[in-house]
Structure 1
Amino acid sequence: MTKLIQSRRRFLGTAMGAGALLASPAYLRSSAAQTGGVVNIWTYDEFIPDDVKKDFEKETGIEVRIRLVDDQGKQFNLLVAEQPNPSVDILTVAGHRFLQFIDSGLIAPMDTERLANWGAINPVYSESDWATINGEKWGVPILSGAEIMAYNTDYVPEDRRNTWDTLFSEDYKQQTAYIPSDLMSIVMLYLGYDGNMIEYMDDPDEAARIVAEARDFLIEKKPLVRKYYDSGAEIQQMLVNQDVVLCHAWNGPISKLIMDGLPMGMSIPKEGSYGFVYTLNVANNAPNADNAYKFLDAMMASSEIGAAMTQSTGFISTYKGSAEHLSDLEKAAASFPEEQLENLQFFRAEANDMKYALVDPAVEEIKAS
C-alpha cells in the first residue's frame, strides 16, 4: 500500500484546536474515585489529543505514558521481542494488519461490554467485516484513510463526481492520473468482484481470471491516462499545476490541497472503494488492562474528541457526529457524507499472498503495455 502523505500540523491552520473543544472533562464524570496507576500507550504523533490525556489523568489519577511509533513493522517486532510480558497496554494497529498481530498472539480480543461508549463509533467502521475476526472484535476504530476520486471543482461538474466512470471517460483523456497497483483492487470492485479476493481463496483459477480482466481493463484505458504517478507529493504537484484535473489518490494528499484553498474535492464513488482504519488495541497480557479499558472508554466519550483527532492528524474520524464540530473547509478535507461512507469497504489480509502474487505481475504488464 502506498504510504499516505500527511501534513498534520498544517492541517490545523484554520482549526480551533483540540484544547478549545475539550476544555471540560465532562466525559469522565461517570468515573468513580481516583484509581491511580499507569496506562502505557504506543501510538502515532497527535493521535491522542493532549486535553484528553490531561483530563483523564486529573479525573482518574492514572498516569498516561505515551511512546510514539512511526512504523507498524517496528511496533510488531518490538512487541514480539517483549512477549510474554509486554510493557505496553494499548497499541495502535492498522486494521488490515490485524491478522499478523492476532496470529502472533500480540493483541487481545476487545471486550466491548467493558466499553460503555462503544456505540459512539460509526458502525460503518465498528461493524464492518474487517473488524470481526474469529468471532471477536480486536480494536477500537479511531481514524480512517481511504482511496478516493479527487477532482478539480472548476473542471469536473457535480453530476460526474461520484462515479469511477468519470475517471475512465474519454471526456478527460490525458487529464487523469493514478497508481495502478493501488487502483487494481478498486477496478476489481468496479467490475463487480471482491477486491480483497477472499471470495476466491479456494478457486485460484477464478482469482487469476479476475486479475487478468482487471489488467486488461487498465491496459485498454491506458491511452486515457496522463501519467502513472508514484507518490502523494507528485500527484499534489500535478494537480496544483493543472497537469491533471482528475485522479485516484489516497485522501491525505488531497486533504492538504483542500486545506490550502485549492479548488479540489474528493468522493468515495458509488461503485465503492477501499480504506483502512487505525485502531487502539489492548495488548495480550497487558500489565494494566483495567486502566487500558478506562482510557479507551474515555477516548470514545464525545464526538468532539473525534473531531479533535481529525484536526490534529488529517485522517477521517470514525466517531458519529464528529463532522458537526469541523469547519466547512475541514469537512471538505476530512469527512464524507454518510451515503458515501456506505460505499467504503476495508482492506483485509486473508488472501494477500495469493492476491499480490497475481496483482504484482499484472501491474508490470500494464506499465509495459
Structure 2
Amino acid sequence: MSKLIFNRRRFLGTTVATGAALTSPAYLRRASAQTGGEVNIWTYNDFVPTAFREQFEADTGIKVNIRLVDDQGKQFNLLAAEQPNPTVDIMTVAGHRFLQFIESDLLAPLDTGRLKNWDKINPTFSESDWSTINGNKWGAPILSGMEVLSYNTEIVSEEEAQTWDTLFSEQYKGQTAYIIQDMMSIIMLKMGYDGNMVEYLDDPDKAAQIVEEAKAFLIEKKPLVRKYYDGGAEFQQMMVNQDIVLGHSWNGPAAALINDGFPLAMSIPREGSYGFVYTFNIANNAPNSDNAYLFLDALLSSPEIGAEMTKASGFISTYKDVSQHLSELERKSTSFPDEQLANMQFFRAEANELKYSLVDPAVEAIKAA
C-alpha cells in the first residue's frame, strides 16, 4: 500500500461553493437597506465559509469582522478581560465548556425565537440535554466531533461495527487500539451508566463503584488490545500498516483516511458514544446583538451552507439534509445515519472534577496491570 500523507484540508478540499449555493435568503436582501454596521466574530479557521460571508455582506450591508481563535481557554480569558464591554458579538464555544462561560456571565441566553431557521438544525444537536442550562439555550450548534468505532471495511463488516463488543472480541485479538481514558467514558455508557457522571454528583461512592467496574472490564480485556494510543496520527499509521483493523477514534483522523481512499468506515455503535458540539454564542452585552442574530439566522438558512462548513473544517455538520450536498466520499467521512446519531450523547462538564479524580488513577492502574 502506498504511503498516505495526512493533511485534513487536502482531504476535505477547499472548493468554494458557487454564489448560488451560498446565497443568503431573500428576506436578507430585502432588509439590506435597513441594516448596516458590523458584526464581530471570534471563531476557528474555516467555520464561516468565505462565499457566504461575502454574500451576507453584500445582501445586508453588515461588515463581518472575523478574529481567528485556536484555544477555548484563551478565548475565555480574553472575553473575561473585556467585560462588561466586549468587542465581540459572536464567539465559538464548545458545548462542554458552556458552564465556565455562563457562570462568569460572559454569554447571553440565546433567544431562539429570533432565529427563524432554528428548525434547520438536527434536534439531536439542538435539543440534547447539554444544550439547555438553567432553562435557557446558550448557543446555536454548527459543527460536531465525536468518538466512533473505525474499521477496515475489507476485514470488518458493517454489521460487526454496530456494537462495541466487536472491539473486545477474541476474533480481533491483537488487532485493536483505543485511547484508554476516552474508552472509560464509553465503557461506563456501555454498562448503562452516565459516563459524564453528572448523575452521581451527590453520590461519590456510586461514582467510585462505576469507575471500578469500568476499570475491571478494561483490565480483563487488556490481553485483546494491541495498543493504547494517544494521538490521531498514531491511529492512522496503525491502520495504514494494518497493525490494527478496528479501533476507537475521533472522527477527524478517520475522515482523513477515508478521504485519502483508505478502506475505512465509521459507526456510532448502538450502545452509544460521546461527542462535542461547537456552537456560535452571543456575548453578554454584545455591541451589535441585532446584527449577530441576523448573521446566525442567515448561517442556519440552508444545508448547502452547512455542507461547505463541513468540507472546509472536517467536522460534522449539525444541519438537516446536509448529506444531499456532499459527494459520496464526503458523506462517508462526515455524516452518519439518523439512527446512529440518536445513539450519541454529549460531553458535559458539571462533574469533571469528580469524574477525573476517579478516572485518571483508574487509567494508570489499567496501564500497569
| TM-score normalized by the length of structure 1 | 0.96
State the match for 2:47 in structure 1: 47
**CA, structure 1 residues 7+113, in 2 after alignment: closer, same or farther (shift >3 Å)?**
farther
Query: How many Å apart are 1:21 and its aligned residue?
Result: 6.2
Q: Is contact 1:7-1:314 (8 Å) kept?
A: no
Structure 2 gaps of 5+ residues are 1-5
**CA, structure 1 residues 23+97, in 2 after alignment: closer, same or farther (shift >3 Å)?**
closer
2:31 maps to 1:24? no
State the match for 1:324 in structure 2: 324
State the match for 1:3 in structure 2: none
Rounded Cα–Cα distance in structure 2 between residues aligned with 1:322 and 1:186: 27
Q: Is contact 2:22-2:304 (8 Å) kept?
A: no
- Cα deviations across residues 7-44 of structure 1 (Å, max 9, x unaligned)? 4421334x753346635334534535341101000000
Q: Is contact 1:254-1:266 (8 Å) kept?
A: yes
State the match for 2:3 in structure 1: none
Q: CA RMSD in A?
A: 1.3
Write the letter of the residue equivalent to 2:115. Answer: L
Q: Is contact 1:22-1:51 (8 Å) kept?
A: no
**CA, structure 1 residues 157+23, in 2 after alignment: closer, same or farther (shift >3 Å)?**
closer
Write the letter of the residue equivalent to 2:24. Answer: P
State the match for 1:95 in structure 2: 95
Percent identical pairs in the alignment equals: 68
Rounded Cα–Cα distance in structure 2 between residues aligned with 1:244 and 1:361: 27
**Matched position secondary structure for 1:255:** helix
**CA, structure 1 residues 117+149, in 2 after alignment: closer, same or farther (shift >3 Å)?**
same
Query: How many Å apart are 1:158 and its aligned residue?
Result: 2.2
Structure 1 gaps of 5+ residues are 1-5
Rounded Cα–Cα distance in structure 2 between residues aligned with 1:365 and 1:315: 33
Rounded Cα–Cα distance in structure 2 between residues aligned with 1:38 and 1:328: 38
State the match for 1:84 in structure 2: 84
Rounded Cα–Cα distance in structure 1 between residues aligned with 2:329 and 2:252: 14
Rounded Cα–Cα distance in structure 2 between residues aligned with 1:12 and 1:21: 21
2:193 maps to 1:193? yes
State the match for 2:289 in structure 1: 289
Query: How many Å apart are 1:321 and its aligned residue?
Result: 0.4
State the match for 1:298 in structure 2: 298
How many residue pairs get aligned? The number is: 363
Rounded Cα–Cα distance in structure 2 between residues aligned with 1:30 and 1:186: 49
Rounded Cα–Cα distance in structure 1 between residues aligned with 2:112 and 2:225: 46
**CA, structure 1 residues 193+76, in 2 after alignment: closer, same or farther (shift >3 Å)?**
same
State the match for 1:64 in structure 2: 64
Runs ≥4 in structure 1, deviation > 4 angstroms?
Answer: none
| TM-score normalized by the length of structure 2 | 0.96
Rounded Cα–Cα distance in structure 1 between residues aligned with 2:117 and 2:204: 42
